[in-house]
Chains A and B, each alone.
Chain A
Amino acid sequence: MSTVLAARHLNKYFYDPERFRVLSDITFEVQAGEFVAIVGKSGCGKSTLLYLLSTMDTDYEGQIELAGTLLTGRSQDYLAHFRNEHLGFVFQFHFLLPEFSALQNVMLPALKLGKYSADEIEARAMAKLSMIGMADYALKPASKLSGGQQQRVAIARALINDPTLIMGDEPTGNLDKANTDNVFSIFRELASGGQTIIAVTHDPDFAAGTDRVIEMSDGLIVP
């Protein structure tokens, strides 16, 4: 098994209103194919950690290596391109572009990557949508979908570029029981297909269904 993600001695501070250490000396690795849940109480720094790993927050000490590439100290544009190619995101509040149809939302990151032609991308996006059972809603504007439906489209969007790693920030945090089960089963299915997934969650049922649970408390990993 190869290492997909390696975090070494991560430290992160907040400066407002005063200097405060959010993460202290976080070190861990994630292997390819693992389904990892990061759990912990509110304010323990788990979301902060995920944002560091996602490369979107670059203000930290330590080193992050993803898919064999050292990402610490890279330019914003390099990181954007890296995210596009290697990372898929599922946020708590889905964050689809409201003016675009479900299909377009899924297609956009792939169009940006430009690895396939527009027709191929559309076919691939439709395949991802049917995989999560959203094919019938492909042409509806994202703003007209229900919360659960939007979250499923967001998962399809995260999958479109066949990312090395999928990151979820409370992916079920805003969903009811039925939708939570639905979304979780999609994740579970992806994981069994060999997809590496890291999800921050405070849902014990969700965490229990994963391969490995990293528990955090006060900016430290609980051993």
Chain B
Amino acid sequence: MNLRIASQIARTHLLAKKRQTLVAMLGVTFGIAMFITMISFMQGVNQFLEDSALDASPHVRMYNEVNTQRPSLIDALRPGGFNVTYHQKPKNELARIKNGLTIADRIEREPNVLGVSPQVATQAFYNNGPIQLSGTISGVNIERENRLYNLEKRLKSGSVNALRSNPDGLIMGTTLAGKLNVATGDKVTITTPTGSTRVLRVVGTFGFGIGTIDNTKSYANLPTVQELLGKDPSYITDIHLKMSDPLLAIPFGKVLQAQYGYHTEDWATANTAILAGEKIRNMLTYVVSITLLVVAGFGIYNIMNMTVMNKIKDIAILKATGFEGHDIVAIFLLQAVFIGFSGGLLGLGIGFGLSYLLSITPFDAGGFISIKTFPVIFEPKYYVNGLLFGVITTVLAGYFPARKASHIDPVAILRG
């Protein structure tokens, strides 16, 4: 097959009807541009929601599940007998993880573990004058905690270092601080369930963008909280850890539970609702993308069909003067490739532009959510897919009418 002459004819066709070529190109362009914008935005939202939920939760959390249910003494002695026990006294069980610090250090040495933060978590009342709010307080080694949750970035005021240098420091959730009407530098009285009280100074505020955390949680130094609860320096209630790949964390959590005998909870179990929502949104994204692509594909098919049908007489002439069926197909396929490729590239450009505009559009999500503009992700994969789709669809849309046209009998056309 002589491609040079086919391309010459294809070029002449494209250049002769510039407006028609442009319309065909724009058909591809809009489809691809919409696809790129849509998928970048929707995936951006998905990513944002996932990140904001998962960033704030550990990949695996190990804790001692306090469960006071136990068989009564008589049940243990006479199993299967007709035993009735009223008002069994609950066993005094501590939430402590024995050897917590050692366990934390050992877990940290395991492969794929990014960081481990042993901590003491407890309920607490925050008092500022007459205001009393309940919440939680976590005693942490702030460096380790920072490595896990990137606290530095989430600080609204103050600094992480200030907590390290001040044993009576407290980094407070931003909404909680707002409700208590305290700011960095102010003092807050903390009361624990065991009744002990201590005055701590707010050295920073943080916001994860998640109401349940920003509304209730504070960080203090690990020894401070241990002291507050009247416990020894080895008292640990929770071990949080993050891994290089969140998916590894699910089996790893089970391994840890078997190894150390303490209850573990992975991020997927803790965020079941969010993950379900994510699945639904992903499905929605696919449905919308496929719909867009199918609609664009049909548009492209129509245009290519029209392009070929407009040239039916030329095809008959070419065949009469000795051009073979595959020459005809080649001529129109080359046109289709050109239209698909240039239209697709233009579509990528416009798609990128629209995505960029969206990503700098101010978005007021209120104080809770930590974004100022719409979340959009720029993933090269989508651009490659978009272009591939544009070219493949156009080539297919050009191939079928061209093949049909290459089979026609020139006599039928030339006779008129």
Contacts and interface: CB of A to CB of B under 8 A. Distances in A.
Do A and B associate with each other? yes
Interface of A: 47, 51, 54, 56-57, 76-77, 80-85, 87, 89, 91, 93, 95-100, 104, 108-109, 111-114, 157, 161
A89 B321 contact: yes
7 contacts: A56-B409, A89-B320, A98-B16, A104-B12, A109-B321, A109-B322, A112-B327
Contact of B324 (A56, A81, A91): A81
A97 B317 contact: yes
B411 interface: yes
A87 B320 CA distance: 9
B317 A95 contact: yes
A99 B319 contact: no
B411 A51 contact: yes
Given A51-B411, A56-B411, A76 B325 contact: yes
Contacts of B410: 56
B12 A100 contact: yes
* 3 closest A-B pairs by CB: A84-B322, A99-B16, A80-B324
A61 to B, nearest CB: 17
Contact of A157 (B15, B17, B321, B327): B321
A93 B142 CA distance: 89
Nearest to B15: A99
B416 A93 contact: yes
A85 B322 contact: yes
Given A57-B409, A108-B9, A112-B5, A76 B324 contact: yes
Interface of B: 2, 4-5, 8-9, 12-13, 15-17, 313-314, 316-327, 409-411, 414-416
A150 to B, nearest CB: 12
B410 to A, nearest CB: 5
The main secondary structure of chain B at its interface with chain A is: helix
B415 A95 contact: no
Contacts of A111: 2, 4-5, 8
B144 to A, nearest CB: 73
Contacts of B318: 97, 108
A104 B17 CA distance: 17
Nearest to A99: B16
Given A57-B409, A95-B317, A84 B12 contact: no
Given A47-B415, A56-B410, A104-B12, A83 B5 contact: no
Nearest to B319: A80
B325 A80 contact: yes
Contacts of B325: 76-77, 80
A87 B319 CA distance: 12
A99 B414 CA distance: 18
Contacts of A96: 317
A77 B415 contact: no
Nearest to B314: A97
Contacts of B4: 111
Given A95-B313, A97-B317, A80 B322 contact: yes
B324 A77 contact: yes
B24 to A, nearest CB: 16
Contacts of A51: 411, 415
Contacts of B320: 54, 56, 83, 89, 91, 95
A51 B320 CA distance: 10
A96 B414 CA distance: 12
A95 B9 CA distance: 16
Contacts of B12: 99-100, 104
Nearest to A160: B321
A77 B326 contact: yes
A55 to B, nearest CB: 10
Contact of B13 (A56, A57, A99): A99
Contacts of B319: 56, 80
A57 B317 contact: no
Nearest to A78: B324
Nearest to A89: B320
A54 to B, nearest CB: 8
Given A57-B411, A95-B414, A108 B5 contact: yes
Contact of B414 (A80, A91, A100): A91
Given A93-B416, A99-B16, A108-B9, A113 B322 contact: yes
B323 A112 contact: yes
Contacts of A99: 12-13, 15-17
B347 to A, nearest CB: 27
A80 B327 CA distance: 11
A83 B2 CA distance: 17
A157 B323 CA distance: 14
A80 B320 CA distance: 7
B318 to A, nearest CB: 8
Nearest to B17: A99
Contacts of A114: 2
Contacts of A82: 322
A192 to B, nearest CB: 25
B321 to A, nearest CB: 4
Given A83-B322, A112-B2, 8 more contacts: A56-B409, A56-B414, A84-B322, A84-B323, A98-B314, A99-B13, A99-B15, A108-B318
A56 B322 CA distance: 10
Contacts of A77: 324-326
A157 B320 CA distance: 12
A157 B4 CA distance: 20
B172 to A, nearest CB: 75
Chain A CB within 10 Å, residue with most, of B316, B320, B414, B416? B320
